[in-house]
Structure 1
Amino acid sequence: MKNTISQRVADFLKNFPPFSFLKQRDLELISEQITIIYKEKDSVVFAENEETHNSFYVVHKGAVALRGNHENEILDMCDEGDIFGLRPLIANENYKMEARTYEESILYAIPISVFKPYALENKAVGNFLIESFASNTLNPFSKSHRGKLYGEESLEADTKLLDLQEVKYSKKIVSCIATTTAKEAAEIMRHKNVGAILVVEETFPIGIITDKDLRNKIVTGEFQITTPVSEIMTSPVITYPTKMTVTQAQIAMMKSDISHLCLTIDGTSNSKAVGMLSKHDVMVSIGNNPAVLLREIKRAKKFKKIKQIRASIIHLLQGYLDQNIPMTLITKIISELNDACTKQVIAIVLKKTETSPPVKFSWLALGSQGRSEQLLLTDQDNALIYEDVPEELEAETKKYFLELSARINKGLFEIGYDYCPAEMMASNPNWCMSLSDYKTKIHHWITNTGKNEVLLSFIFFDYSLSFGDTELVNNLSDFIFEDVKANPTFYIHLVSGALQSQSPTGFFREFLLEQDGAHKDFFNIKNRALMPLADAARVLILSHSVKSISNTAERFEKLAELEPNNSELYTACAYSYKALLKFRTKQGLLHNDSGQYIALNTLSKAEKIKLKSTFKTIKELQEIIRVRFNPSNIL
């Protein structure tokens, strides 16, 4: 007769990770060893610095607050299905936080000795426990956990891009046996429309015949058409494992001067053949290589062609995410390709324009593209700066560049970038001006520090040059930094603006959702998670007068160098930002949109835990800014 209590425990646990990764029978065995604990409100489960228990805990009903030593601050709130107290399972040291019931609660105490074997044997269970443990620490991206969240494994800096891509191969093997005649083999190849046929004994490859073999050995008359394939096949077969990169496949074919590879289970001819790889397959894979795509972009003569290449870039992005390539490398590659698309659109427009630009100009990427963080196709954010001209030529010059900008914006729209709803585009007269006019406008923003002025000024700390004259951009950058130094009050307003970013979660660690509008009840990952980090990075990097870095993660990495005492936090922020960007990108690709708004009911418990773990740095980061600059003293 089944233990009904343990059965109910198992039925509850199977709905939550990591228990959902276990087999039902294993879960039932574990449940038989679980202790059910009742705790009144405000009861201590374990205290800070207390020796670890022999169990970790799952909240069945109620809520448990995890508190740090800083004014008894609540660092985390665990509710139904959440696990806590994992330190004895992961690290052999005393508890670093206090766990106290926030309300009347029922807990399941799971013995470490019972559960540990499952964590060691089941990779999904082990990974989830590591992530959960890290998400309940003060710094989820600390050195001890770094590289275990969101798959941000490190790669050598000189990793070749081709080596990152697995080659695609055919799993539909066309084969025959040794006694098949050359004529029969040729008919099979023609019917299947393939250039090679594998000769097998049972499922093991013993030889291969290609079009080249038929030409050289049969058509020449060297062998009769009725000859068994065993006499004309190439043997032994050169075999490789299925996990091959494009470069490895190319090298293998060049090394043996062959056009086809046979792929087997263990990479030897003594195991089952599972795939065939041809030179054509390799060339198709190379077509999605960034170096090849970059060359194709530069050769494109029409917007339609660039749009087709943009589709390949998205395919490449999806492949990189599937292969778990680090976000640092992904953003560099995709940003470079996106930038190349913009450059080529401008080049095509200029070539079609009857008159050359009257003076030097620069096309600026703003917003996420300016920070090299635009991975998905979003709306346009751009501006154009042109060289100063005499007053009598200003109207005519501006007219020329506005018309040019309109054609460029249209071209960008045709390759997939929507028009900016706020018209923050170079075709807008407010974003197409001479260098002097930009300086006048930006000076007005800096010396008239209203909310709108501060928000607009953010844009000109994140831009990057997409096309045109470098000196114009450097001139404007120098002016902005000098003007900010001369107006310290503005910087405090800038700080205040960064602190206005909304929190990702409420008091009970629940996601704060949109309250109205088209995205009501959705989570805005851009405004509530990414932007608080981006705004803080901008403010802090400006305080060190660093103007050559616009990428948010790179700003945090530079700050870690500049402020060794805060190195751990800034490094955590860089990892958090990349993790959030990866999460948004995956959501965008999944739903074919910008990924900005996320329906939480589509996320698993594990995904929510991973997402929340990235939020922990935001509050601490904003507190550093608040204490360091104390904007309340001036505003």
Structure 2
Amino acid sequence: MQAENIEILEFLRQHHPFKDLDNAILERIASQTDVAYFKAGTQILNFGEAITDWYIVRSGAVEVYRRSGELYDRLTTGDYFGQFGLLRNKRIRFPAKALEDTLVYLIPEPLFSELFEEYETFADQVEVEDRTRLRQAMARQADSNQLLSAPVETLMLREPLTVPVTLSVRDVAIQMSEESVSCALVVTESDDQPLAANRLVGIVTDKDIRNRLVAEGLPYDSSVEDIMSTRIASVEHNQFVFEAMLMMLRFNVHHLPVMRHGVPVGVATLPDVIRYESQNSLFVVRRIFGAQSLDELKALQPDVRNCFSRMVAEDANSHMIGTAMAVIGRSFKQKLLEMAEEEFGPPPVPYCFLALGSMAREEQLIVTDQDNALILDNRYDPKLHEDYFIKLSNFVCDGLDACGYTYCRGGIMATNPKWRKTLQQWGDSFLDWINNPVQEVLLNSFIFFDLQGVWGETQWAEQLSALVAEKASRSPKFLACMARGALGRTPPLGFFKGFVMETDGEHSRSINMKRRGTAPLADLIRVHALAVASKSHNSFDRLDDVIEADILPPGSGADLRDALELIAMVRIRHQALDLEAGRDPDNSIEPDNLSDFERRTLKDAFQILSNAQKYLKFRYQFGRAF
């Protein structure tokens, strides 16, 4: 053996993950290892380029970066890099640069892949390092993304203009003009405290003055109370810019009061948020609300897909993507309902249009059907009012189908008279499901435990959610029944932890990542959330409530979160790749198309799901105290 190879061999013997390999393997590695020198400041790896070797730092220092240019890690002697790209798609994921004059060993990709596949201890050590870094990257992704890391209060460059409720519109307009602001916060008056500390009761904007005062011909000395908006969407000062953006999208508003301990401390405006947003999802939602016909709404389908693909390409996490796509889907519903009321006239009695399932959980992706229902005012009389709501439901559901949200094959839509009920009837239905659980009935009712109001009297949906949160946690029989139902869909793992694939249909030899992954995870998290009376909708938020309630085995909550994120992102990336290739996206993947790293981590995630289902079965046995 040459002297250079002997030096490499001795180095490998001293460092992980080589220390546990036998001498013959180490000699083979040393004989195939090349050496490269990089001067300080030299770029070693560039994002997106093909990668053919695994890099081990012999001496010097290397800095690894995210694609955004932000520092990700700093490596020294014995550290390694490049494995993430080799295990994924043979493309560089994290650029690298020599911080000092650096000597590296290069192990060719075929040899690295052989070692990873054939030697479990080697693979485990590389994989543990990668998983640690992957988890750190997922945790730090929020820190590196301005949408998630910037609190709303960073947008506030000045204190808000607050005016008393008794002030005239003329005087309010004068103050707005003098201070060059587009809105004023209307508060109650109190002699014993500053005006800005009083209770917020409304907001008035330039648009309100134009539309509600000037256009209506009201006198300029009208009270601001006559034209202000009283249903106020607001954010807390410590919420993130991303949350403010979603609030604006959800309620179609351009001004959000920023609150601290119930007191308005500022206003976040649309231009403020646009500085932090990629402009894509906002652009789509604004075009939805600006559409004048169903044809214009249908034409937005490519924009929706482009928005989805762009978020994936920018490494958004599954929560961000699911929430943004749910907001877009909700916006289609809201616009269609607005158009329906324009065509059929105002509703004869108040109603609330419900979003159910993944949209209500804010976990919607690009492949989705529509799940919806109607809550009707208790004064609803079928003889007098049914015809109107049949026409409205057909208009909206047909419109959603035309816009890419296909009809629900199970018929869970407002077009089904079974799912058009009064508020009282809905309350009775939930109480019956909880107090008298029947497995067959509950299996068809799971989706109704994920609901959000999107139009009309949305507070009715909140009332039903509060009712469920209060009653469900007190019914062991109901929770046991829900738990049994949640065990119906199992992860695709065989006896020896190999993948079990579909055996028939067009997707044979594949895994349905929704049916066998994200759906059973959402089901079991929902059961735990009901048990702790959580009022959250999103699975990640529910999981936070469950972890806080301390009902899971130590560490399993964090494992569940990682498993949900991993499985969801594999599903999301697969759909994005389908779109890129011009294929119709779906929920099925073929394991043979995954990298070694993805297959191994996916098996681990499915094992976490399997263990969580076993715990669910144990915890919610009927008659057992919990």
Question: TM-score range, shorter-chain basis?
Answer: 0.5 to 0.7
Q: How does 1:40-189 map onto structure 2 within 5 Å?
A: 54-56=19-21, 119-120=80-81, 124-125=85-86, 144-145=132-133, 147=135, 153-156=140-143, 159-160=146-147
Partner of 2:422: 434
Alignment CA distance shift 1:135-1:30 (3 Å): closer
- Aligned residue for 2:489, secondary structure, equals coil
The unaligned stretches of length 5 or more in structure 1 are 3-25, 36-50, 61-88, 90-115, 164-282
- Seen in structure 2, the aligned counterparts of structure 1 residues 488 and 564 have a Cα distance that, compared at 3 Å, is closer
SS of equivalent to 1:365: strand
Preserved contact between residue 502 and residue 511 of structure 2 (Cα < 8 Å): yes
The answer on 1:464 being equivalent to 2:484 is no
Stretch moving more, 415-424 or 124-133: 124-133
Q: Which residue of 2 aligns with 1:361?
A: 351
The match for 2:399 is 411
Q: Distance in 2 between matches of 1:369 and 1:156?
A: 26
Residue by residue, what CA displacement relative to the aligned partner does 1:369-417 show, whole Å, maximum 9, x if unpaired? 1111112142111111111116xx2333233212210110011111111
1:550 is aligned, of 508, 527, 537, to 537
| CA distance in 1 between partners of 2:79 and 2:458 (Å) | 59
**Displacement of 1:119:** 3.8
| Equivalent-residue separation in structure 2 for 1:309 and 1:445 (angstroms) | 39
Tell me what 2:461 maps to.
473
The equivalent residue for 2:620 is 629
Provide the aligned C-alpha RMSD in A.
4.5
Q: Structure 1 CA distance, aligned partners of 2:149 and 2:339?
A: 29
Query: Is 1:372 matched up with 2:333?
Result: no
| C-alpha separation in 1, matches of 2:20 and 2:122 | 18
Q: For residues 200-239 of structure 1, what are the structure 2 equivalents within 5 Å?
A: none
Q: Which residue identity does 1:551 align to in structure 2?
A: N
Alignment deviations for residues 571-623 of structure 1 (CA, whole Å, 9 cap, x no partner): 22122212212211222233344532223333333332232232232133223
Runs of 4 or more above 6 Å deviation: 126-135, 139-143
- Map of 2:489 onto structure 1: 501
Q: What is the rounded CA distance, in whole Å, between the counterparts of 1:34 and 1:134 in structure 2?
A: 12
Q: Which amino acid aligns with 1:571?
A: A
1:242-269 deviations in Å (ceiling 9; x for gaps): xxxxxxxxxxxxxxxxxxxxxxxxxxxx
Identify the residue that residue 565 of structure 2 maps to in structure 1: 578
Bigger relative contact order (CA 8 A; separation at least 6): 1
Tell me the equivalent position of 1:334.
Answer: 325
Is contact 2:20–2:121 with CA below 8 Å preserved after alignment?
Answer: no
Contact kept in structure 1, 2:12 and 2:18, CA below 8 Å: no
Deviation for aligned residue 1:52: 9.7
Q: Say which one has the larger Rg.
A: 1
- Once residues 522 and 343 of structure 2 are traced to their aligned partners in structure 1, the CA distance between those partners, rounded to angstroms, is 38
Change (3 A) 1:559 1:379: same
Task: Please tell me the residue identity of whatever aligns with 2:20.
Answer: S
Equivalenced residues, count: 416
1:546 is paired with a residue of what secondary structure?
coil
Measure how far apart 1:431 and its partner are: 1.3
Q: Percent identity?
A: 25
Q: Deviations for 1:206-229, whole angstroms, at most 9, x for unmatched residues?
A: xxxxxxxxxxxxxxxxxxxxxxxx
Q: How does 1:252-291 map to 2 (within 5 A)?
A: 289-291=280-282
Residues in 2 aligned to 1:121 and 1:142: alpha-carbon distance in whole angstroms = 10
Cα deviation code 1:158-187 (max 9, x no counterpart): 824999xxxxxxxxxxxxxxxxxxxxxxxx
Residue identity matched to 1:363:
F
The whole-number CA distance in structure 1 between the counterparts of 2:570 and 2:82 is 28
Residues 473 and 531, structure 2, Cα contact 8 Å, conserved in 1: no
Corresponding residue for 1:615?
Answer: 606
Deviations along 1:509-567, whole A, 9 cap, x unmatched?
Answer: 111212334433321211211122111111111111112x1111221123223329756
Mapped contact 1:366–1:464 kept (Cα < 8 A): yes
Change (3 A) 1:558 1:481: closer
When residues 140 and 474 of structure 1 are mapped into structure 2, their CA distance, relative to the original with a 3 A threshold, is: farther
Structure-2 residue corresponding to 1:538: 526
Report the counterpart of residue 386 of structure 1 in structure 2: 376
C-alpha contact (below 8 Å) 2:317/2:569 kept by paired residues: no
Equivalent position of 1:71 in the other structure: none
Q: What amino acid does structure 2 have at the position aligned with 1:614?
A: A
Stretch moving more, 581-590 or 447-456: 447-456
Q: Distance in 2 between matches of 1:141 and 1:537?
A: 28
SS in 2 for 1:156: helix
How far did 1:491 drift?
A: 1.8
- Asked whether the equivalents of residues 153 and 326 of structure 1 are also in contact (C-alpha less than 8 Å), the reply is no
Specify the alignment match of 2:306 in structure 1. Answer: 315
**Whole-Å separation in 2 of the counterparts to 1:286 and 1:488:** 45
User: Relative to structure 1, is the Cα distance of residues 504 and 152 closer, same or farther in structure 2, using a 3 angstrom cutoff?
Assistant: farther
Q: Quick check: 1:536–1:622 contact (8 Å CA) kept in 2?
A: yes
Q: Give yes or no for contact 2:12–2:19 (8 Å, CA) kept in 1.
A: no
1:295 equivalent in structure 2: 286
Structure 1 pair 530–485 and aligned structure 2 pair: CA distance change class (3 A): closer
